[in-house]
Structure 1
Amino acid sequence: MTVTERVSERPKQARPGAFQVLRTNFSSTAVSSLETFGRALRSGAHATRVGATDIVRLRFQWHEMLKQAWFLVKVTSIPGMLMAVPFGVIVSVQVGNIVSQLGADTLIGAAGGLGVIKQGAPMATGLLLGGAGAAAIAADLGARAIREEIDAMRVMGVDPVQRLVIPRIAAMLIVAPLINILIIVIGILSGYIVAIAALGVTPGSYWQTFGAFATGIDVWVSLAKSVIFGYLVVIIACQRGMEAKGGPRGVADGVNAAVILSVVGIAVLNTAITQVVTMFFPLRLA
C-alpha cells in the first residue's frame, strides 16, 4: 500500500459548524466579561476599604484628589451644559405635545421637570462621565501601565491603588452630583423657555405645577443615581486602565472597553434602580 493510499484512508476530522463556532465565541466572551466584572468589583471593594482606612489614619491623598476633581470638572462641565439643553427641550416638546392634546397644558411644568430630574439628569451625567471621564482616566492609567510606572511603584513598595485609584474615586464621587445639579438646572430652564415660547404655557402655571408634583425625594434619588453611576464608571475605568498591555494599542483598547462597559452598565443599573425606587415610593416616583 502506497503512502498516498494510507493517507487517504485516515478518517477526516469534521470541521466545526458555524453554530458551534458562534456558541464557543459567545461562551468565551461571556466568561471573559464575568471575569472582568469580578475583577472590577474586587478592585472597587479593595479601593473603598483602603480609602476609608486612609481617611481615618489621616493619610488620604487630598492634593491628588482635588487635582483629579478639577480635571474632571474641566472635561465634563461644558459638555454637561451642552447635553442639558437638548434633554430639557426634548422632554418639554414631547410631553407638551401629548399634554396639549389632552387639554392639560398646565401640567407641562410637572411632567417636563420631573422627567429631567428623575431620568434625564442622572442618565446624562452617567453617559457624560462614562464618555469623557472614563476615557480620560483609562488613558492616563493605561499610559502609566505600558510605561511600567505601576510595576515600578509596586517594586518600591507603593500601593498603586492607594496612590492612583483612590483619589480618582473620591474625585468622581464629588464631581458626579455637581454635574447632575448643573444638568438639572439647565435642563429645567431650557424646558421652561421652550414651554413659554413655543407651547404657550404661562410662567406661573409652569412653576406652580412643577412645585406641586416635584418633591425632595426626587432630587435625592437623582443625586444618589449620579453618585452610583460615577462610582461604577471610575471603577471600570481604573481597572481597564491599569490592566492595559501591548503598547499604545492596548491603551486604546482599554479606553474603548472602559467607555462601552460604563455606558452598558449605566443603562442596566438605571433600569434596576428605577424599578427598586418605584417599589418603595410608588406614589411619588411612579
Structure 2
Amino acid sequence: MGSAVRISGVSAAAHAVRDNFADTVLSALRTFGRAVEMAGAATGGGARDLIAGRFQWREAIHQAWRMITVTALPAILMAVPFGVIVSVQVGNLIHTLGADSLLGATGGLGVIKQGAPMATGFLLGGAAASAIAADLGARTIREEIDALHVMGISPINRLVIPRMTAMLVVAPLLNVLIIFVGVLAGYAVAIGGQGVTPGSYWATFGAFTSVADVGVSLIKAVIFGFIVVVIACQRGLEAKGGPRGVADAVNAAVVLSVVSIVVVNLVITQVTALFLPMRIA
C-alpha cells in the first residue's frame, strides 16, 4: 500500500514538472511572438510616420541624448581596459612566437570584430534597456498607457518608435567610440610597454583589418540595439504589479537582452566567418 502511494506521488510530481515545463515553453513562445509583433508594428509604423510627417522627432532626439549620457562614459571606461587586455595578452603570445609586428593586426581584429560590438550590446542592454524598461514600466503601472489607448493614441507610435529610432542611431556611434578608444589604448600599450614600432603596428593593422570588418561591426551594433530596444519596450509595456513589477521588468529586460546578444553574436560570427573569411586587405 505504501509503495503504491509513493509511486502515485512520484507520478503526480512528474506530471506537475512536465506541465510546468510545457507552460513555461508556451509562455516563452507567446512572449517571443509579442516581441516580433511589436518589432514589426514599430518598423512599419515608423516608416508610415516618416512618410506622413507625423514622426516624433523631438522625443527621438530626447531619447537619443538620454542614451548617450548614460552610455558614453561607461563605453570609454570599458574600451580602455579592453584594448589594454587584448594588447597585453595577445602581445605576450605573439612575442613568444617572435611575431611582435603582428600585434596591430591581432589587436585591431579583436577590438573591431568582437570587442566593440559586444561591449556596445552589453552597455545598451544594461544601461539603456534598464532606463527604457523603467520609464515605460512606470508609465504602465500609473495607467498612462491605458490613457493613451482611451484617447486613441498608439503607444507604439508615441513611445516605442522614437526610442527605437534613437537606439538605432546611438548604437553605431557608440560602437565607433569603443573602436577608437580601444584601438588607441592597445596602440599606447604596444608602443610604450611592448616595444612595437608605430609603423609596424599600423602597417599590420591596415593589412589585416578591412572595411568589411568595420561594416560587420557596425551592423552587429545596429542589430544588438534593435534587439535591446524591442525587449526593453515590451517588458516595460507589459509591467504589472506596482513598483515590484517595474523592478521585475527592468531585471527581465537586462537579462534577456544580454542572453539574446550572446546568442545572436554567435550566429552572426559563424555566418560572417563563412562568407567573409579573414584575409589580408
Q: Which TM class, normalised by the smaller chain length?
A: over 0.9
Find the partner of 1:201 among 196, 199, 213.
196
Q: State how 1:33-52 maps to structure 2 within 5 Å.
A: 33-52=28-47
Matching of residue 271 in structure 1 with residue 266 in structure 2: yes
Instruction: Measure how far apart 1:170 and its partner are.
Output: 0.1
Matched with 1:152 is 147
Matched with 1:257 is 252
Give the aligned residue type for 1:186: V
Instruction: Measure how far apart 1:199 and its partner are.
Output: 1.5
Matched with 1:161 is 156
Matched with 1:243 is 238
**Which moves more between the two structures, 142-151 or 33-42?**
33-42
Find the partner of 2:104 among 103, 109, 134.
109
Q: Point out 4+ residue stretches in structure 1 off by more than 3 angstroms.
A: 16-27
RMSD: 1.7
For structure 2, the 5+ residue unaligned runs are none
Instruction: Measure how far apart 1:240 and its partner are.
Output: 0.3
Give the aligned residue type for 1:15: G
| Contact 2:122 2:258 survives alignment (8 Å) | yes
Matching of residue 75 in structure 1 with residue 57 in structure 2: no
Three-state SS of the structure 2 residue aligned to 1:193 is: helix
Larger radius of gyration: 1
Matched with 1:233 is 228
Matched with 1:217 is 212
Q: Distance in 2 between matches of 1:60 and 1:284?
A: 43
Instruction: Measure how far apart 1:198 and its partner are.
Output: 1.9
Matched with 1:184 is 179
Instruction: Measure how far apart 1:22 and its partner are.
Output: 4.5
TM-score, normalised on structure 1?
Answer: 0.92
Matched with 1:4 is none
Q: Distance in 2 between matches of 1:24 and 1:63?
A: 48
Instruction: Measure how far apart 1:279 and its partner are.
Output: 1.3
Q: Distance in 2 between matches of 1:71 and 1:154?
A: 26
| Contact 2:102 2:204 survives alignment (8 Å) | yes
TM-score, normalised on structure 2?
Answer: 0.94
Matching of residue 64 in structure 1 with residue 59 in structure 2: yes
Instruction: Measure how far apart 1:20 and its partner are.
Output: 5.2
Q: State how 1:121-132 maps to structure 2 within 5 Å.
A: 121-132=116-127
For structure 1, the 5+ residue unaligned runs are 1-7
Cα gap change, 1:22 to 1:112, in 2 (>3 Å): farther
